[in-house]
Amino acid sequence: MAPAMRRDGIAMDTLTDSLLDELRAVVARVDGQAVNEACAALAGAGRIAVYGCGREALQMKGFAMRLFHLGLPVSVVGDMTAPALGQGDVLFASSGPGETGTVLSLMRTAREAGAGVLLITAQPASSAARLADRLILVPAQTMADDRGEGRRSAFPMGSLFEGAMFVLFEMMVLKLKQKLGVDDEAMRARHTNLE
């Protein structure tokens, strides 16, 4: 059977394989020890606040929902119910390019309040990486480096980073589920009924 074709002439099977291969290669290069340390920090936090900008924010909010389903005390920065952070708490921020002004400001505020700062980024030498206590490096192209001859990814506008975030966060949920001894039914019981 011939592969399904898109209007632009690209075979869907070829495109799917290419994109999944890119995601697989990026996620495979993430440091497993850094992920384990991030999971331990989240599991042991008094309170967790998450933040990201743009499409990264969508991934962070999805991860926050799963942390809530796991029974962890999580909020999203900007929500009216987000508490103040202090000693023993964790700000988990995302900045693929590592120079996002809002993220840098929030990281400084959290540090000044005594909270730990966990960062997920693609740029290990960035300002945000230098401010973080813990770092998850996702070696994916972002909007910071997706133009001209430096462009390597088939994903548009740096979205390889966000796709890798989703896969990585699902892995972290599975690790946290095991670490916390939470089963599927306990997670499901915390899912909203207001849908």
What token pair was written down for 124? 């290990």
Q: Which helix (H) or strand (E) holds 17?
A: helix 12-28
Radius of gyration of the chain (CA): 18
Provide the sign of the torsion angle of the four alpha carbons 13, 158, 137, 85, taken in this order.
negative
Helix (H, G, I), strand (E, B) or coil at 40: helix
- Residue pair 189/53 in contact (Cβ under 8 Å)? The answer is no
User: Which residues are marked as active site?
Assistant: 162
